[in-house]
């Protein structure tokens, strides 16, 4: 039998009625001839409640105990889903992480998979069971302690099972009906994509389209697991949602697939730093240690007279989430005070947003950047920083122009048309 993995997130199993609704979707796939592995999250709110209990008990908590407490939410849903499927006359049983066993590292609360042996579940499928319901987000360490994978870990569990069981597809049921060319709240012209490449999804996810967890997409890409994102609140069939797949499977040949944005960015500029080998490391080392997620980095070199000699100097600009600005400032000031770096001024702009166009087609098409800058210029949007990757061009702009910029780019690249 071909294997299908189906994953239901917290809002999709929030109460008994929704679990029943999810079970109906599982039943439909069983009737299509699949052996199904269902990965479930905790009922929405449960994980937060359990985390609150732990944080209310202990400040610097033992991550092993945290994991043991927090993983229990998924166990409840797994049992209830198995029971609901049995009520529908579908042979099913639940598996907790240690029962499979889902072997992980001992890095509690951010464990990584080591192996997912197929024997136990394969044996049940061979006996005639049609569905294995697996508690997501968790595993077991070599020491026999319960581990968790960190937030979003149920998506990762689903992809890992799809890889381990050579599943035909990994369907991620969530509260949106697919991946859009951009946020429909910003432009009503946003269009649901039928397919999108892993690489594009990664760029869209990290840029703010928070449908799929980045790590799960990376894992899917590595093991070539076909991911489908679809709604658990709508009637769905084999063509619903958006398929995230290898670019070989893409039918559309658009240069640009989507416009992403990130609202709460900050731009920081170190004015006049010395341009010598090691200076970038002297700046970004302390920022990393301070837990600042630096995103874009731009450097301009010029020359400056110091006393009787001319040295190469530069301004260094970088962006980070706006809520990390205070930490970043302190890290820079401390580094200057200790003599590791020198700069004349630290200019902070907390009123910027990032807008990006993403598309696997731009690898083979010139002129995307020019078209982007032209579209923004027509709307009088000033570009403050530009950054590019192979399949993405990002700009930092004043936050107040963000929606306007997204709309303009969506139009410029005809994203409303198939």
Distance CA 112, CA 116 (A): 11
Among residues 3, 4, 6, 19, the one that binds its own copies under rule CB under 8 A: 19
Whichever of 11 and 299 has its CB closer to its own copies, that residue is 11
Total residues in contact with its own copies, by rule CB under 8 A: 37
Whichever of 92 and 196 has its CB closer to its own copies, that residue is 92
Distance CA 221, CA 146 (A): 27
Q: Examine residue 118 and tell whether it contacts its own copies (CB under 8 A).
A: no
Crossing angle of helices 72-87 and 63-70, in 10° steps, is: 20
Closest by Cα among 368, 369, 370, 381 to 408: 381
CA distances from 120 to 7, 34, 89, 169, 238 (A): 20, 18, 21, 21, 29
Whichever of 73 and 361 has its CB closer to its own copies, that residue is 73
303: which 2 tokens? 């020359």
230: left (phi over 0), alpha (psi -120 to 50) or beta: beta
Whichever of 57 and 115 has its CB closer to its own copies, that residue is 57
Residues 123-162 vs its own copies: string with x where CB under 8 A?
---------------------xxx----------------
Among residues 44, 61, 150, 192, the one that binds its own copies under rule CB under 8 A: 61
Among residues 22, 80, 160, 402, the one that binds its own copies under rule CB under 8 A: 80
Kindly report the backbone phi and psi dihedral angles of residue 111, in degrees, each rounded to the nearest multiple of 5, phi listed first: -70, 155
CB of 75 to its own copies, least distance (A): 5
Q: Examine residue 75 and tell whether it contacts its own copies (CB under 8 A).
A: yes
Whichever of 135 and 396 has its CB closer to its own copies, that residue is 135
Distance CA 388, CA 352 (A): 18
Select the span of 24-32, 60-68, 208-216, 267-275 touching its own copies (CB under 8 A).
60-68
Which residues contact residue 222 at a Cβ distance below 8 angstroms, ignoring those fewer than 6 apart? none
Q: Examine residue 82 and tell whether it contacts its own copies (CB under 8 A).
A: yes
Distance CA 108, CA 62 (A): 9
Among residues 28, 44, 93, 114, the one that binds its own copies under rule CB under 8 A: 93
Among residues 48, 57, 115, 302, the one that binds its own copies under rule CB under 8 A: 57
Whichever of 24 and 400 has its CB closer to its own copies, that residue is 24
Whichever of 69 and 271 has its CB closer to its own copies, that residue is 69
Distance CA 217, CA 31 (A): 28
Q: Examine residue 48 and tell whether it contacts its own copies (CB under 8 A).
A: no
Among residues 1, 2, 16, 107, the one that binds its own copies under rule CB under 8 A: 16
**Residue numbers 359-388 binding its own copies by CB under 8 A:** none
The H or E element spanning position 42 is: none
Which residues contact residue 218 at a Cβ distance below 8 angstroms, ignoring those fewer than 6 apart? 202
Closest by Cα among 228, 253, 223, 226 to 238: 228
Q: Examine residue 79 and tell whether it contacts its own copies (CB under 8 A).
A: yes
- In what side-by-side order are the strands of the sheet with 138-140? 113-115, 103-104, 138-140, 146-148
Q: Examine residue 56 and tell whether it contacts its own copies (CB under 8 A).
A: yes
Q: Examine residue 186 and tell whether it contacts its own copies (CB under 8 A).
A: no
Contact residues toward its own copies (CB under 8 A) are: 16, 19-20, 50, 53-54, 56-59, 61-62, 64-66, 68-69, 72-73, 75-76, 78-80, 82-84, 86-87, 93-94, 96, 98-99, 144-146
């Amino acid at each position: 039998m071909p294997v299908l993995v189906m994953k239901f997130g917290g809002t999709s199993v929030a109460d008994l009625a929704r679990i029943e609704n999810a079970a109906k979707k599982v039943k439909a796939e069983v009737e299509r001839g699949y052996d199904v592995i269902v990965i479930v999250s905790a009922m929405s709110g449960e994980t937060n409640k359990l985390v609150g209990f732990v944080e209310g008990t202990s400040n610097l908590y033992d991550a092993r105990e945290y994991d043991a407490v927090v993983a229990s939410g998924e166990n409840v849903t797994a049992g209830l889903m198995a029971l609901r499927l049995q009520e529908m006359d579908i042979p099913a049983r639940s598996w907790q992480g240690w029962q499979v066993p889902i072997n992980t590292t001992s890095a509690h609360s951010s464990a990584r998979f080591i192996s997912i042996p197929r024997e136990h579940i394969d044996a049940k499928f061979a006996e005639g069971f049609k569905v294995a319901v697996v508690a997501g987000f968790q595993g077991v360490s070599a020491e026999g302690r319960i581990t968790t994978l960190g937030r979003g870990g149920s998506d990762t569990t689903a992809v890992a099972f799809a890889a381990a069981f050579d599943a035909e597809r990994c369907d991620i049921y969530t509260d949106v009906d697919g991946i859009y060319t951009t946020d429909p709240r910003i432009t009503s012209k946003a269009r649901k994509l039928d397919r999108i490449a892993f690489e594009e999804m990664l760029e869209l996810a990290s840029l703010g389209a928070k449908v799929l967890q980045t790590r799960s997409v990376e894992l899917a890409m590595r093991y070539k697991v076909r991911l489908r994102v679809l709604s658990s609140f709508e009637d769905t069939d084999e063509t619903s949602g958006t398929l995230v797949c290898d670019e070989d499977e893409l039918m559309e040949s658009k240069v640009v697939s989507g416009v992403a944005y990130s609202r709460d960015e900050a731009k920081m500029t170190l004015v006049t730093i010395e341009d010598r080998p090691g200076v970038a490391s002297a700046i970004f080392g302390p920022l990393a240690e301070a837990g600042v997620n630096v995103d874009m980095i731009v450097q301009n070199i010029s020359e400056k007279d110091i006393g009787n000699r001319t040295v190469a100097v530069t301004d260094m600009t970088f962006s980070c989430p706006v809520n990390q600005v205070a930490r970043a400032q302190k890290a820079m000031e401390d580094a200057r005070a200790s003599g590791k770096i020198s700069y004349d001024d630290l200019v902070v702009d907390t009123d910027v947003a990032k807008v990006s166009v993403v598309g696997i087609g731009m690898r083979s098409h010139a002129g995307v950047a020019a078209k982007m800058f032209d579209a923004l210029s027509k709307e009088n949007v000033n570009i403050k920083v530009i950054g590019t990757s192979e399949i993405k061009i990002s700009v930092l702009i004043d936050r107040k122009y963000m929606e306007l910029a997204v709309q303009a780019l969506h139009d410029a690249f005809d994203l409303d048309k198939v």
